[in-house]
A and B are shown apart, each in its own frame.
Chain A
């Protein structure tokens, strides 16, 4: 048996060349698929068709930038937003996954390392205050920058989304997120009552990362995110921070707010009133 060097090199060269060609072709194709202009007044597609089409309406109008204000004085830590969010987004709650966490903080300081370590059952106790956290929809999201395969990106209206069909499940985004806002499906999610309303995201498969999307399927239709809608004390305000007439712009401009880990330069878009 003899395989000459020439043949071996030829085979290697051919493989490399065809991969390069495939890459070029795919890049061109992929850009068309995710471009918004292409869909015009129809719908932007996020992901291909393998787990059912995840399609969201395009941003309501050009220049929208969604943000949220959470008034920590009003939050009673009831956890309704956390549970309703999970139902709305078909989150596999059996594995303990929730998009929203409610941290119980010590009075007098904002120290994330010194919180009550059981955030699952918060109580509005004396000497503590509640800090609901979820994806901050950063302007400079580290999770997007670390994804090796461009499976996650920031939409025009500032919402960071994941292509569930493309994610390879390397979990680098989980590691890189300073807000613990990304969650991995360690097993196939089990959803007791599936929300099958018009644009609700279908149940994600195991082995991929998911996150809060400000209920993109609702806000793109002009509705409020579920957590804002259900909050019994109206602690959450949601809206377009680029619109000077919106309630959220007025609140952010007129009152003292803080954001978490501002020193990291991620420009989070959840503002807290404290």
Chain B
């Protein structure tokens, strides 16, 4: 197949012809998973949501957990991307396109996860026809769509080679508040519900943003490591860039843990404790869900923070990779904990169990596979690399050429030595050393 151009973007269809069996095997297994997910959704549509583990008390489950998780993941890409354009963090420039890709794909998956959660998805168009502007859900749908469009436009600009210039800067300036918007508004879907005691806290939006950044950055590091490993010659990122990201990650983990601590203190401090709140939170600290909550804080929060905060452990790629895996798992379980906080006990005090069923797991695996497939194809077919920043092999030192100083006729073994002499003796800066030194032919 031949390379083509669609709306100014180069599409390297020829890469498909050269692709390895590994690539085709990977793509095929993803397609199979997507197919299985589709079938599971068909079964769910046919029989109803009774095939899931959700019931009237625990009314939102694995799909919403994934929805919140992916909204959060979309943050990581954007913070890296905008720190390049707004704050001049040039060490992240090689991954700016991939960061935007990650943000866009994650937001797409978040929106996809809403669909199987609906009992009556054929009515979804009422979101556009008769939206209720008192419902924060409507604003969430709006901001997610806007954010997705922004990611597409950003990516288009980057891919078609318009990465410099005022328009690009303006887009970044819009994208940043939009990113804060998707997290805050998704947080408010839970936080603005007064019926659920533990959700009804003003800290919900800040907590969402910090968790989002932790998981988003963790996933970005993982994705970049994988692309570096399997993506071929085009994606040889420097280790230093990963250390720099790891440092940022450590700081955000600390902020996230602090918000959580603040929430726990408010719940349990004697002068502040409310019976309904304590009973519901105790489920997490000592009850049914403590097996998820306690490791989430210790193994997936404090441990990676400690490892990344200490410079000696941070500057090791296996540790960075491990910590990224830990924080992504940690935030994923935190999203479940978040749902359990509000939904495990009904407003009238009845505890309900919830475990996702095979159908829920299959649909989830299918949607995840869509995202992985999009990233795989994009990396394969689109010019995702930023050429000038790909690390090149260190240049072999130039062969020493004997040279002489034209001012005092002294001779040297190499040009460098001559330049040093000229700076010292004749006050000629090294940059303009050619005024004094010349090669001996």
Contact = CB atoms under 8 A, between A and B. Distances in A.
B56 interface: yes
B131 A178 contact: no
B63 to A, nearest CB: 11
A101 interface: yes
A186 B123 contact: no
A27 B56 contact: no
Given A115-B348, A180-B347, A208-B120, A142 B59 contact: no
A82 to B, nearest CB: 14
A174 B118 CA distance: 13
Interface stretch (B135-143, B163-171, B286-294, B389-397): B135-143
A177 B130 CA distance: 22
A172 B342 contact: no
A184 B194 contact: no
Contacts of B347: 112, 177-180, 261
Identify the interface centre among B126, B127, B138, B196: most chain A CB within 10 Å of its CB: B126
B137 A170 contact: yes
A264 B195 contact: yes
B420 interface: no
B60 A171 contact: yes
Contact of A264 (B47, B127, B134, B194): B194
A207 B49 contact: yes
Interface stretch (A53-61, A161-169, A216-224): A161-169
Interface in A156-196: 165-172, 174-180, 182-188
Given A167-B120, A174-B56, A186 B6 contact: no
A73 interface: no
Contacts of A207: 48-49, 118-120
A2 B6 contact: yes
Contact of A113 (B117, B118, B195, B276): B276
Interface in A96-138: 97, 101, 103, 111-115, 117, 119, 133
B119 A206 contact: yes
B128 interface: yes
B120 A168 contact: yes
B48 A187 contact: yes
B47 A145 contact: no
Interface residues of B, number: 53
Interface residues of A, number: 62
Contacts of B275: 111, 113
Identify the interface centre among B118, B343, B351: most chain A CB within 10 Å of its CB: B118
Interface in A65-105: 95, 97, 101, 103
B161 interface: no
A179 B127 contact: no
B120 A142 contact: no
A261 to B, nearest CB: 8
Contact of B50 (A2, A23, A27, A95): A95
A14 interface: no
A106 B134 CA distance: 38
A255 B138 CA distance: 43
Identify the interface centre among A148, A176, A183, A261: most chain B CB within 10 Å of its CB: A148
Contacts of A117: 349-351
A116 to B, nearest CB: 10
A62 interface: no
A142 B119 contact: no
B267 to A, nearest CB: 15
B348 A184 contact: no
A175 B343 contact: yes
Interface in B1-53: 4-8, 47-50
Interface in A2-35: 2-5, 7-8, 19, 22-23, 26-27, 30
15 contacts: A2-B5, A5-B7, A7-B7, A95-B50, A101-B348, A117-B349, A133-B348, A142-B193, A149-B123, A166-B130, A168-B123, A168-B126, A169-B123, A172-B135, A261-B347
Given A101-B348, A172-B137, 14 more contacts: A2-B5, A8-B7, A27-B129, A112-B348, A146-B137, A147-B132, A150-B126, A165-B123, A169-B123, A170-B137, A175-B195, A184-B59, A206-B48, A264-B194
